Amino acid sequence: MPELSNPNSETMTKKTNCRLVVGLFWGDEGKAKAVDVLGENADIVARYQGGANAGHTVYTGGEKFVFHQVPSGVLREDVTGVLGAGMVIDLPELVDEIRELKNRGIDATSRLVISSRAHLVTSLHKRIEKIQETKLGIGTTLRGIGPTYSDKYARRGLRIGQLVHKHGLEESVRKLIDSHRPFFEFAGEPVPTADEILTPLLEKSAFIEDMVDDVSLFLTDSIHAGKSVLIEGAQGSMLDIDWGTYPFVTPTSPALSGVASGLGIDPRLVEEVIGLVKAFTTRVGNGPLPTELIGEEGERLRGTGEHEWDEFGATTGRPRRCGWLDGFVLTCNCRRWGVDKLFLTKLDVLDGMEKARLCSAYKKDGKVLRAYPSTAKELELVEPVFEELEGWSEGVARKTKFESLPENAKYYVKRVEQIAGCPVGWISTGPNRENTIVR
């Protein structure tokens, strides 16, 4: 008998130039800047999960750009942006975002590919989340993300392809309303009408028709044709629905586990995983944050808000909770997601601090933990184990060479590498593209 060939066997040996950028904490690690820096030689930048709850901020050429649904890599004029099947798309806001970019000289209308399988956020979902948030207090962005994913997994959601092709669209909308009617009636709120839901979607559907395609086929063909692909995660690993600080999580898998389902590609095509870590830890909204600083030190890390890069949410404007770098989270997520290199951001914020502390482990009941606790209640009981490192008075801000950093700053970077078990390949020393050390 002739030998059977495996069409995917080449995947295991051929270099693909496909890289993933993933946040290792609770989001806001600086993924947009990393994608902007790493996207210099990329042909494609792809988003695979999340939606308009993302707030990816890039500073370049004296301008600030905030991306919510459009992949931030499209700032480079030769890059194609992909919105994967794992995303939930707020279509009116997406169209507004594309048009705003065009008004600012970034015309991405011919450089976007949208999955026909991506689900649609509707006005119904936003109203549901607003009602839920008053009861549950998760700390969401009120963008309708959670309810849209709930409908997706309940098999009653609306998808981009259905909107474009109009197949059974009105019937699906009526069924969606009927499924949520008891919720609105119980809450004493008016039930949305089909027109309220459909009209904003239909008004924008023609704008994106030519962008809709099979993302899985597009990406696989592109990778095998030698194109360079950068995959852009949203939110952060500690917000992962399975591995994050449940229930204070996002309804997706923001890490490596979400790539295959969100983009429909063989995960073995991802050649390098780049983990984003901030020089200190932040979190927006409610939920555990073991290294949180309350008082003057926390405010020092957060900033006053006078600078656009201070620690206030790009999507909501809410002040972020701040604390020392959580090395235990770093260790766990580098192991879980097979991180190859780190992109360390905001090292310059530690300039001028007399001491810099680093959490290297958790203790519970006097014992050092090996596994990250699975419940929020357990996390309330842990005791962070801190190392105190010497700070530096000389600034690292805007430096572009590792050799020019103060010795204590170099040691801080090396200690991060030791805790993570992988090298720091890039260091951000300021908000702009050029404020980056490449090692």
Cα-flanking dihedrals φ and ψ of residue 294, to 5°?
A: -105, 125
pLDDT tens across the length of the chain (439 residues): 444 444 454 444 456 799 999 999 999 899 989 999 998 889 999 999 999 987 888 888 888 888 999 999 999 989 999 999 999 999 999 999 999 999 999 999 999 999 999 999 999 999 999 998 877 666 677 889 999 999 999 999 999 999 999 989 999 999 999 999 999 999 999 999 999 999 999 999 999 999 999 999 999 999 999 999 999 999 999 999 999 999 999 999 998 999 999 999 999 999 999 999 999 999 988 899 999 998 888 888 888 666 666 788 766 678 899 999 999 999 999 999 999 999 999 999 999 999 999 999 999 999 999 999 999 999 999 999 999 999 999 899 999 999 999 999 999 999 999 999 999 999 999 988 899 999 9
Query: Is 240 known to be catalytic?
Result: no
Q: Enumerate the domain spans of the chain.
A: 119-210, 277-439
Cβ(318)–Cβ(284) under 8 Å?
yes
CA distance 323 to 311: 12
- CATH code, 119-210: 1.10.300.10
- In sequence order, the 6+-apart residues with CB closer than 8 A to the CB of 171 are none
> What is the number of other CB atoms lying within 10 angstroms of the CB of residue 371?
7
Cα-flanking dihedrals φ and ψ of residue 113, to 5°?
A: -125, 125
Cβ(33)–Cβ(51) under 8 Å?
no
Q: Which tokens in the block code for residue 236?
A: 């952060």
Given the residues 36, 56, 68, 151, select the one marked as catalytic: 56
What is the separation of C-alpha 418 from the centre of its chain, rounded to a whole number of angstroms?
25
pLDDT at 244: 95
What is the separation of C-alpha 380 from the centre of its chain, rounded to a whole number of angstroms?
25
Cβ(292)–Cβ(282) under 8 Å?
no
Q: Which tokens in the block code for residue 162?
A: 């259905």
Closest CA to 44 of 352, 240, 263: 263
Element containing residue 152 per DSSP (H, E): helix 145-153
What is the CB-side half-sphere exposure of residue 81 using CA atoms within 13 A? 25
Query: Is 56 known to be catalytic?
Result: yes
∠ Cα 140 256 231 (to 5°): 85
Query: Is 277-439 assigned to CATH 3.90.170.10?
Result: yes
pLDDT at 58: 87
